[in-house]
Amino acid sequence: MIEVDDKNFQEKVIEQSKKIFIVVDFWAPWCVPCKIISPILERFEKEYKRKFILAKINVDENKK
């Protein structure tokens, strides 16, 4: 899992997606559904090692 922001999104998500599948988790601390799905996505990333990268971005902190 990688943490991304609006400054490194191009490099870490867009460019990396040319090499490997990227799943982006757009989340916010107040979002209840996010709190439910995030652990599931993290578990899938561990189970399917090297099949995809989970990129997480906090939408409250990255509003661009």
- Summarize pLDDT for 43-60 with one digit per residue, the tens: 999 999 889 999 999 999
5 labelled catalytic: no
The model's pTM: 0.87
Nearest Cα neighbor of 25 from 8, 2, 48, 51 is: 2
34 labelled catalytic: yes
Q: Which of 49 and 13 is assigned the larger pLDDT? A: 13
Predicted pLDDT of residue 10: 96
Beta bridge partners of 25: 56
Q: Which residue is catalytic, options 13, 24, 34, 42?
A: 34
**What span, in angstroms and rounded, lies between the C-alpha atoms of 26 and 31?**
10
pLDDT at 64 over 80: no
**What span, in angstroms and rounded, lies between the C-alpha atoms of 5 and 20?**
19
